């Protein structure tokens, strides 16, 4: 009963503030690199050519079919376990697998895996499996040909709304870690996804499941990808950013993700502590909701302002520019995720070793790991601080490089350089703001 009311997210532990000198170092480095990018970066686009990469294995035939089916079954099984734990398991989130599985390992873990290795979730996503199975059954019953799936051509606005709904739940709702709350959220989210799939066709889930879209966009940075002929390929990190085509709703989607992570950082500050410390329950939710909306709005307005400035340089429409340069924010989104959630994954994430032995909090010990002691000193504060600093700095460099590559491929060199001033400005703003939040001032 008690844990149902717990008024905070997972863990209740946050990182120590970043030392000011380290922040200055990262900010200075990012600004310096940005100016190098204007003049001395490469003069011909490189990413598009490198994006295809080298073929490793062709995913056709019995082995691939067995792997695919296995992944789908694992995805359905894990989803079922988490949903069951959320509705029927112990109400204390610390001994119920649903909170950590959903909020840490799924949400944070898969962002990291997607950005580094590739779009793994696509193989496991239970919504794809259910929608595909339903389409197959329907085609059998009606004797009609199974409808094809278009991959990612639809507007991403539904996905932006879906991911905002999740981020509101995680960051603003006052009892996000409580198992029953997770049960309610996952159930509602699943109903919307599957109802949409049955109404608009199974392709709809591909562009509307906010999680799937985020993991898929992040995977553009990753070293592995599956091409249209189902060949598994390896390529340099970041190169795939060049292959992200303009899609409606892409910029709002990224802005929601960036703005929410920024807000999450802001809630750790002493300013926010003073604003929220005397609020409880829905009163706390209300303040968090306003804060979240405000930060997302500010992040979005900064971007719109930069795009408008850019339009005056290149003479193109802001819509065209948003589509072309929106994907270059993906590395910043990945960097924010690493900077804010790295320690959550490696420290709080260890609770998973205990919870897999007793997923529903019933006193089981399935794998003999019930008594595992979390090592809170697994990574030291200075290691965490360096991961944060380097993530933000490297994310910034990658974003600047991706934007430069885009500009060079679109405009003559001098226009490309001039067009980059506003974009660099907004990227420096995001980077320095991201760093300042790590000060915890």
Residues that bind other proteins (CB under 8 A): 2-3, 5-8, 11-16, 19, 21-22, 24-25, 28-29, 32, 35-36, 39-40, 94, 174, 268, 270, 273, 277-278, 280-281, 376-377, 380-383, 385-386, 440
Minimum gap (Å) between residue 277 Cβ and other proteins: 4
Q: Name the residue nearer to other proteins (CB basis): 57 or 376.
A: 376
User: Considering just the CA atoms, what is the radius of gyration of the chain in Å?
Assistant: 22
Is the CB of 349 or the CB of 440 nearer to other proteins? Answer: 440
**Least spacing, CB of residue 80 vs other proteins, in Å:** 29
| Shortest reach from residue 12's CB to other proteins, in Å | 3
Structure tokens at 294: 């405000």
- Shortest separation between residue 366's beta carbon and other proteins, angstroms: 22
Which helix (H) or strand (E) segment holds residue 225: the answer is strand 224-226
For other proteins, the closer CB: 93 or 189:
93
Find the distance separating the first CA and the last CA of the chain, reported in whole Å. 35
- Report the nearest approach of other proteins to the CB of residue 233 (Å): 35
Cβ at position 2, least distance to other proteins in Å: 5
Hey, what are 335's tokens? 């960097």
Q: Which is nearer to other proteins, 16 or 297 (CB)?
A: 16
Closest CA to 93 of 180, 14, 184: 180
Q: Determine the Cα–Cα distance for residues 425 and 415; give it in Å rounded to an integer.
A: 16
The tokens for 428 are 């420096």
d(CA 159, CA 422): 27
Please report how close the Cβ of residue 377 comes to other proteins at its closest, in angstroms.
7
Q: Which residue, 25 or 436, is less far from other proteins as judged by CB?
A: 25
Nearer to other proteins, 243 or 269 (CB): 269
> Nearest approach, Cβ of 403 to other proteins (angstroms)?
18
Give whichever of 74 and 383 is closer to other proteins, judged by the CB atom: 383
The C-alpha angle 162, 259, 14, rounded to 5 degrees, equals: 105
CA dist 153 to 206, 253, 366, Å?
A: 9, 15, 44
- Please state, in angstroms and rounded to a whole number, the distance separating the CA atoms of residues 78 and 72: 10
Shortest distance, CB of residue 116 to other proteins, whole angstroms? 26
Q: Judged by CB, which is closer to other proteins: 144, or 377? A: 377
Torsion from C-alpha of 185, 189, 190, 193, nearest 10 degrees: 180
Least separation, in Å, of the C-beta of 283 and other proteins?
A: 11
Which strands, in side-by-side order, build the sheet including 54-58?
54-58, 231-234, 224-226
Q: Are strands 54-58 and 231-234 parallel, antiparallel or unpaired?
A: antiparallel
CA distances (Å), origin 276, targets 175, 280, 288, 299 = 15, 8, 8, 22
Q: Which residues of 57-88 are buried (b: 16+ CB within 10 A; e: fewer)?
A: eebeeeeeeeeeeebbeebbebbebbbebbee
Judged by CB, which is closer to other proteins: 216, or 343? 343
CB 237 within 8 A of CB 222: yes
Q: Give whichever of 247 and 428 is closer to other proteins, judged by the CB atom.
A: 428
């Amino acid at each position: 009963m008690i844990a149902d009311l717990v008024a905070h997210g997972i863990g209740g532990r946050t990182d120590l503030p970043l030392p000011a000198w380290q922040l200055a170092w990262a900010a200075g480095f990012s600004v310096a690199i940005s100016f190098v990018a204007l003049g001395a970066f490469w003069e011909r686009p490189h990413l598009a050519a490198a994006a295809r990469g080298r073929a490793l294995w062709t995913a056709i035939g019995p082995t691939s079919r067995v792997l695919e089916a296995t992944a789908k079954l694992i995805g359905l099984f894990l989803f079922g376990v988490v949903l069951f734990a959320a509705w029927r398991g112990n109400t204390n989130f610390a001994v119920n697998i649903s909170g950590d599985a959903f909020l840490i390992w799924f949400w944070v873990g898969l962002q990291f895996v997607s950005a580094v290795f590739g779009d793994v979730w696509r193989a496991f996503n239970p919504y794809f499996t259910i929608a595909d199975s339903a389409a197959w059954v329907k085609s059998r019953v009606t004797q009609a040909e199974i409808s094809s799936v278009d991959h990612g051509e639809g507007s991403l606005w539904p996905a932006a709304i879906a991911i905002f709904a999740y981020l509101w739940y995680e960051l603003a709702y006052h009892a996000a870690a409580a198992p029953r709350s997770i049960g309610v959220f996952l159930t509602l989210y699943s109903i919307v996804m599957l109802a949409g799939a049955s109404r608009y066709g199974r392709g709809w889930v591909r562009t509307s499941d906010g999680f799937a879209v985020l993991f898929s966009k992040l995977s553009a940075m990753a070293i592995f990808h599956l091409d249209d002929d189902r060949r598994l390929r390896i390529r340099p990190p970041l190169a795939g950013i060049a292959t992200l085509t303009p899609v409606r709703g892409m910029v709002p989607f990224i802005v929601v993700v960036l703005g929410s992570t920024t807000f999450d950082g802001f809630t750790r500050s002493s300013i926010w502590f003073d604003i929220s410390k005397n609020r409880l329950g829905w009163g706390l939710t209300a303040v968090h909701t306003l804060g979240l909306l405000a930060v997302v709005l500010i992040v979005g307005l900064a971007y719109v302002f930069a795009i408008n400035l850019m339009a005056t340089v290149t003479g193109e429409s802001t819509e065209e520019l948003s589509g072309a340069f929106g994907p270059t924010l993906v590395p910043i989104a990945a960097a924010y995720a690493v900077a804010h959630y790295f320690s959550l994954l490696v420290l709080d994430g260890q609770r998973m070793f205990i919870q897999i032995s007793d997923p529903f909090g019933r006193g089981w010990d399935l794998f003999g790991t019930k008594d595992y002691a979390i090592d809170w000193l697994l990574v030291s504060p200075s290691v965490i601080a360096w991961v944060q600093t380097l993530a933000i700095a490297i994310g910034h460099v990658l974003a600047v490089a991706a934007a430069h590559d885009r500009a060079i491929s679109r405009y003559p060199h001098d226009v490309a350089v001039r067009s980059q001033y506003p974009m660099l400005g907004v990227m420096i703003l995001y980077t320095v703001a991201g760093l300042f939040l790590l000060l915890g001032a």
